[in-house]
Chains A and B, each alone.
Chain A
Amino acid sequence: MSDKPTLWQTLLSVLSSFFGVQSEHNRERDFRNGRPVHFILIGLLMAALFVISIILLVRWALILGGA
């Protein structure tokens, strides 16, 4: 387990930071072997996706609401 976190694991860690809960086991793995720049990049990407999904959600709600 001393390997670097995979792309998938990094993504999951970023998502769990969005959610606000992370297991101690994963946190240690990320902090010991991960590189900050990976988390920052994926974090920015996910934030952009989050904003886009909010915009789409609002559009969808407006269509449903008949406005």
Chain B
Amino acid sequence: MVRTIITTIGSGLGLTLYSATAAAAWEVNLTPGVTDVSRSVFDLHMTIFWICVAIALVVFGVMFWSIFHHRKSRGAKAHNFHENTLVEVIWTIIPLAILVAMAVPATATLVQMYDSSEAELDIQVTGYQWKWRYDYLDHDLNFFSNLSTPREQITNEADKQEHYLLEVDRHLVVPVATKIRFLLTSNDVIHSWWVPALAVKKDAIPGFINEAWTVIDEPGIYRGQCAELCGKDHGFMPVVIEAVSQDDFQQWLADARAEKQSAAAAAERTWTLDELMQQGEQVYLRACAACHLPNGEGVPGAFPALKGSPIALGDVAGHIDIVLNGKSGTAMQAFRDQLSATELAAVITYERNAWGNSLGEAVSPVQIARLLEPSTGEAEQ
């Protein structure tokens, strides 16, 4: 009922301010979400909102009535006194009672939110600048989820689509009606993993593991964002959850594992320079272009240019080392866990042969795969 009132007031205002079409987009309230917890958060929010409305009506009502009724033109005389213990006690007790009354349902919801016991599926969520990594802990599966909005939309060279900046290359696929525990941490700076429809918003802090959980009722796609300012591309690391039925989830798990194996097999065969360049460009745009820019020129003073760079044109071992292991003390990340052997070989080949860099040599996936082997577990894609 409360929601109907809000929607009615909302669309009424929307209609007068804009047009009928604008009214549909007039959404200013919290989302009720799709889980038990998110609904109780919404109810709590509305309860407290209406308590605030009632307090405002009473306080301002009394205030305006007093100002009007005791106005000077009607001969009102101020009653001068210094203190009144009784009044002070009353105006302290009433807010205290209201706060305690609000704390009761709030505490009940908080206790519910923090009870991550008896989860059926554990997913580790790791924040990176600027993407999320998901590890299905009991299923030997992990992947990175990168923004997939085309650069042309960001730079206004193309029209922005419906899910602008809220779309990724790989969704976090989860089953419905299953208690899922998220273990949140970070690889670099503090991020925050936020999905409004689940009422989950938890900081991902390097060196710490935070817990959150959810049970999603309805299959669907739920979108969220990083909610802790984490650097240049903070607004470009969305979260996309795809809730599917139990059967579809098992199928997806099997497919994802098969895909992983075929990627490993692909590294074994011989790749031509053209093939590597083609894949390398895609990998570069996804994983490198945020800092080094699509034209390889970097950002002077912050992110070095790769075009004509001594590393990209120098000894190949040095180039491979910096891409695989990163450079400590800089924003250059270690990509050995983030990309497959083939992707690494392709992107290094691309960097050595694009934008006027022309060494003409290819780095083979097999060569990279061998380098990835020693640290088993860590390097497993």
Question: Chain A interface (Cβ within 8 Å of chain B)?
Answer: 19-24, 61-62, 64-67
Residues of chain B from 78 to 116 with CB closer than 8 A to chain A in the complex: 82-83, 85, 88-89, 92, 107-108, 111-112, 114-115
Q: Do B107 and A65 touch across chains, with their CB atoms under 8 A apart?
A: yes
Q: Do A61 and B111 touch across chains, with their CB atoms under 8 A apart?
A: yes
Q: Do A67 and B89 touch across chains, with their CB atoms under 8 A apart?
A: no
Q: How many A-B residue pairs have CB under 8 A?
A: 27
Given contacts A21-B88, A24-B82, 6 further A-B contacts (CB under 8 A): A19-B89, A21-B89, A22-B85, A64-B108, A65-B108, A67-B114
Bound-complex Cα distance A64 to B114 (A)? 14
Instruction: From A19, A21, A64, A67, name the one whose CB has the most chain B CB atoms within 10 angstroms.
Output: A21
Bound-complex Cα distance A66 to B115 (A)? 9
Bound-complex Cα distance A56 to B238 (A)? 41
Ordered by A's residue number, 11 sampled pairs between the chains whose C-beta atoms are within 8 Å are A19-B92, A21-B88, A21-B89, A22-B85, A24-B82, A24-B83, A61-B107, A61-B111, A65-B111, A65-B112, A66-B111
> Chain B residues near A24 (CB, 8 Å)?
82-83, 85
Task: Kindly list the 7 A-B residue pairs having the minimum CB-CB distance in the complex, ordered from nearest.
Answer: A65-B111, A23-B85, A21-B88, A67-B111, A61-B107, A67-B115, A21-B89
Bound-complex Cα distance A20 to B92 (A)? 8
Within the complex, the shortest CB–CB distance from B125 to chain A, in Å, comes to 23
Bound-complex Cα distance A64 to B112 (A)? 11
Bound-complex Cα distance A46 to B112 (A)? 32
> Chain A residues near B89 (CB, 8 Å)?
19, 21
Measured CB to CB, the nearest residue on chain A to B109 is: A65
Bound-complex Cα distance A43 to B356 (A)? 77
> Chain A residues near B88 (CB, 8 Å)?
21
Bound-complex Cα distance A61 to B108 (A)? 8
Measured CB to CB, the nearest residue on chain B to A24 is: B83
Measured CB to CB, the nearest residue on chain B to A19 is: B92
Contact of A62 among B82, B85, B92, B111 (CB under 8 A): B111
Bound-complex Cα distance A19 to B96 (A)? 10
Bound-complex Cα distance A59 to B107 (A)? 12
Within the complex, the shortest CB–CB distance from B82 to chain A, in Å, comes to 8
Within the complex, the shortest CB–CB distance from B108 to chain A, in Å, comes to 6
> Chain B residues near A20 (CB, 8 Å)?
92
> Chain B residues near A67 (CB, 8 Å)?
111, 114-115
> Chain B residues near A64 (CB, 8 Å)?
108
> Chain B residues near A61 (CB, 8 Å)?
107, 111
> Chain A residues near B111 (CB, 8 Å)?
61-62, 65-67
Contact of A21 among B85, B108, B112, B114 (CB under 8 A): B85
Within the complex, the shortest CB–CB distance from A21 to chain B, in Å, comes to 4
Bound-complex Cα distance A20 to B95 (A)? 13
Bound-complex Cα distance A49 to B90 (A)? 25
Measured CB to CB, the nearest residue on chain B to A21 is: B88
> Chain A residues near B112 (CB, 8 Å)?
65
Bound-complex Cα distance A19 to B85 (A)? 12
> Chain B residues near A65 (CB, 8 Å)?
107-108, 111-112, 115
Bound-complex Cα distance A14 to B85 (A)? 16
Bound-complex Cα distance A20 to B183 (A)? 43
Bound-complex Cα distance A20 to B96 (A)? 12
Bound-complex Cα distance A31 to B202 (A)? 50
Measured CB to CB, the nearest residue on chain B to A65 is: B111
Residues of chain B from 14 to 68 with CB closer than 8 A to chain A in the complex: none
Bound-complex Cα distance A62 to B83 (A)? 41
Within the complex, the shortest CB–CB distance from A63 to chain B, in Å, comes to 10
Bound-complex Cα distance A65 to B204 (A)? 27
Instruction: From A19, A24, A65, name the one whose CB has the most chain B CB atoms within 10 angstroms.
Output: A65
Bound-complex Cα distance A21 to B57 (A)? 26
Bound-complex Cα distance A61 to B89 (A)? 28
Bound-complex Cα distance A19 to B89 (A)? 9
Bound-complex Cα distance A66 to B107 (A)? 12
Bound-complex Cα distance A67 to B110 (A)? 11
Within the complex, the shortest CB–CB distance from A50 to chain B, in Å, comes to 14
